[in-house]
Structure 1
Amino acid sequence: MFLIESIEDVPILSTTLRIMKFWSFLIVHNWRRYVCLTPYILMNITQFLDLYYTTEPIVNVIRNAYITVLCFNTILRALLLCLHRYRYEQFMAKLKNYYVQLMCMNDTFVNSEIKNTIQAAKVFTRINLLMGILACIGFVTYPIFSTSKVLPFGVFVPGINKYRSPYYEIIFILQVIMVPMGCCMNIPYTNLIISFIMFGILMCKTLQYKIRNLNFINSSKAKDDLVWCIKYQVKIIRFVDTVNGLTTYIWLTEFLTYGAMLCVMLFLLLIVQTVGQMIIVSAYIITFAAQIIPMYFFANELYVESIAVATAAYESNWYDSDMDTKKFLKLFMLRAQKPCAILVGNVAHMNLELLQTLLNTTYSYFTLLKRFYG
């Protein structure tokens, strides 16, 4: 009835997987992966060397530092994705099975939630890709609005003056080519993980619906339905645990760098000298926010919806059940009170509270930099 032959046919994943498949990060393994990764890694090495040897103005140093860290995080994502390729694919195969199971319920509420989730995932994917394109345009066009001769990225090439012709033109063209490649490594990964989280939210909402509408008048059927809910709860827990196993240390690395990156970009916004530069730096900040805020928002939604499962169980007609069923339901509610959460370094819950802490800390350091510079 539901023609879902591969993970590429799952609507919530299809757009992102087409990009990742083209660059052979997932599903296939061919030369495109190395064409994309190898020059990007070499470029990132030259970026770090450039920061070490640079004598450029503070504006250029700050911008180059931001882009260097961004490229490093991009490479880290791509390398870990390639390293754990089979784990990602096995997980997505399991997600495909869960998706088919939900569709086979043929329930009006569940079908409506599936439709809403797919639509939200597609909208977010398109918006995020658009923001990535705008960031790429900003990287490439920044030298046009600069008051001095600069490259899209700072690089160090021993033995040559990168600002002399024809070296400048050659490096500039190479960097223009590499910018969209970096976008294809970074943006789709964010889209993929948020799709995972959205599906986890969908599973939690389905479980809430099922447990809230249990019919306890028929004790035998109620027990069978409750057993289904308990098994489905275990599926959700394992689902989120797998996501954490694949991503938790990436989030830790990025949490440690995001604050610094946002801080220096806000500071750069104060010291740029032209309106064009200000607009491009503002675009950097907006693109950065478009990456981090949705991730923490949807992670927070998963956190909230997983806790709401316990509330849904209490809102059911549990008082009509027999004593054995009440005991099962009590155990179910006790486990549901421990939230399923996306973890940062297996330590902190990724939610809006953690994002607020990050932004508060960033603003404090930004204020300190502003006073020091002033």
Structure 2
Amino acid sequence: MTILLPIGHWWMLLNNMYVNEINDCMSFVMLCDFLQSSLQVACILTQALENDIDVFLVLFMISFIGSMFLRLILYYHYGNELLTTSQNIALSAWQSNWYDQSPQVKIMIFTVIARAQKPLKFYLGQFGVMSLQAFISVLWASYSYMTLMYGLN
């Protein structure tokens, strides 16, 4: 059984039209979110270290930082999922029984393999890729900002 798509659909799939559209719209926003989140966590932790705080404020800070980390983990987890899944597409296509198929299916599978050589990625502006390594970078940046602010006081 052969699945036939119109030429326009193949062109969109081969050229990452959907991922490119998301990157065009959101990469600068995600870069700003990256910087804002790391600075915000640093400010909250610096305030928690400097002041005598009551239980209500501690609970508020914990819930706020927890919800922020949950949001960041979701962003960077799905960015990482896109990256790792797109890296595995070529291997999965190669491991299928493509050699037992018709020449048309072989050409389609080779096209998929050729396209999958460049993995799909969500970007943080022009500076990096949204992945779990970028999430760890948010944590490191927060720690660096916090030590800088705490050292200035």
Do both proteins adopt the same fold according to a TM-score greater than 0.5, normalized to the shorter chain?
Answer: yes
Equivalent position of 1:311 in the other structure: 91
Cα distance in 1 for partners of 2:108, 2:64 equals: 52
Which of 216, 222, 238 is the matching residue for 2:17?
238
Asked if the contact 2:38/2:142 (under 8 Å) is kept, the reply is yes
Cα distance in 1 for partners of 2:124, 2:34 equals: 8
Runs of at least 5 residues in structure 1 that lack an aligned partner in the other structure: 1-220
Q: So what's the TM-score if we normalise by structure 2? A: 0.80
Structure 2 counterpart of 1:284, one-letter code: F
Cα distance in 2 for partners of 1:354, 1:323 equals: 42
Cα distance in 2 for partners of 1:343, 1:276 equals: 38
Equivalent position of 1:348 in the other structure: 128
Asked if the contact 2:12/2:18 (under 8 Å) is kept, the reply is no
Structure 1 or 2, whichever has the larger Rg, is 1
Alignment: residue pair count = 149
Equivalent position of 1:214 in the other structure: none
Equivalent position of 2:63 in the other structure: 283
- Structure number with greater CO (CA < 8 Å, separation at least 6) is 2
Answer yes or no: is 1:334 the counterpart of 2:114.
yes
Asked if the contact 1:272/1:278 (under 8 Å) is kept, the reply is no
Answer yes or no: is 1:248 the counterpart of 2:27.
yes
Asked if the contact 1:244/1:346 (under 8 Å) is kept, the reply is no
Runs of at least 5 residues in structure 2 that lack an aligned partner in the other structure: none
Which of 291, 294, 313 is the matching residue for 2:74?
294
RMSD: 2.7
Which of 254, 267, 271 is the matching residue for 2:46?
267
Cα distance in 1 for partners of 2:11, 2:118 equals: 15
Cα distance in 1 for partners of 2:48, 2:149 equals: 12
Superimposed CA distance per residue, residues 277-315 of structure 1 (whole angstroms, 9 cap, x where no aligned partner): 222122221122122221111111122222222122012
Cα distance in 2 for partners of 1:271, 1:347 equals: 33
Q: So what's the TM-score if we normalise by structure 1? A: 0.36
Residue identity over aligned pairs, in percent, reads: 25
